[in-house]
Amino acid sequence: MDRATPPEPCLVVDGAREARPLAEAIPGARLVAALPDGPAPRAVVDASHPCERDTHARVAAFCAARGVPLLRYVRPGWDARPGDDWRRVPDGEAARAALDPAWERVFLCLGRGERAPFAGDAARHYLVRTRRDDPAAEGLMRFTLTAKGGPFDAGEEAALMRAERIAALVTRDAGGAGAYPKIAGARLLGLPVVLIDRPPVACPVAGRVEEVETWLASL
């Protein structure tokens, strides 16, 4: 008699740099780029990028349809420090609306799918940080591309923004140290930052491996 394939104990959805270390720390966990068809796993931990909306929406729908417990695993977001001038907004459309007319040159540090709200803007020039193999500007009318190299430090970011006569920075609350120098660079220059918040989630959230282990043990 054939036996049903047992469910996998835990799937960890990849995307953030913390995903692989998490999967390696959880016994029996498997790192996946997308949730597979087949037997429903015992649990899913979404460790995709903390600012990425579509992946989490797909993961949440998968888990809801199959009755699978879901946990969102994200690194902490950034906290404002003395000298920061932040305008927090919920999404790209709100970020576009938050741009002051006096800001004629804006440093736009967003991914390809997030630049669409800024398309057709003839009022300002955008400095776009992007990969070397991604020359697309998603409908921006006036723009300059700068390579997504790095790692950068705060002084280098400040020098770039000064050379490009940047008046404001638009970016996401990615958290972590890798993307932080542009925030620190804007602070050095006294520039405003339009900071796009992370999308809300309707499941438990953890930021440490121990919290994930406790959640799994409680299921």
Given a cut of 70, is residue 102 above it in pLDDT?
Answer: yes
CA 23/CA 212 separation, integer angstroms = 10
Domain map of the chain by residue range? 10-74+200-218, 85-196
Fold of 85-196: Rossmann fold (3.40.50)
Given a cut of 80, is residue 4 above it in pLDDT?
Answer: no
Q: How confident is the model at residue 111 (pLDDT cuts 50, 70, 90)?
A: confident
Determine the pLDDT at residue 1. 40
Determine the pLDDT at residue 138. 72
132 exposure class (CB count in 10 Å sphere: 0-12, 13-18, 19+)? exposed
List pLDDT tens digits, range 30-50.
999 988 888 899 999 999 999
CA 86/CA 14 separation, integer angstroms = 30
- 138 vs 163, residue with greater confidence: 163
List pLDDT tens digits, range 154-205.
999 999 999 999 999 999 999 999 899 999 999 999 999 999 999 999 999 9
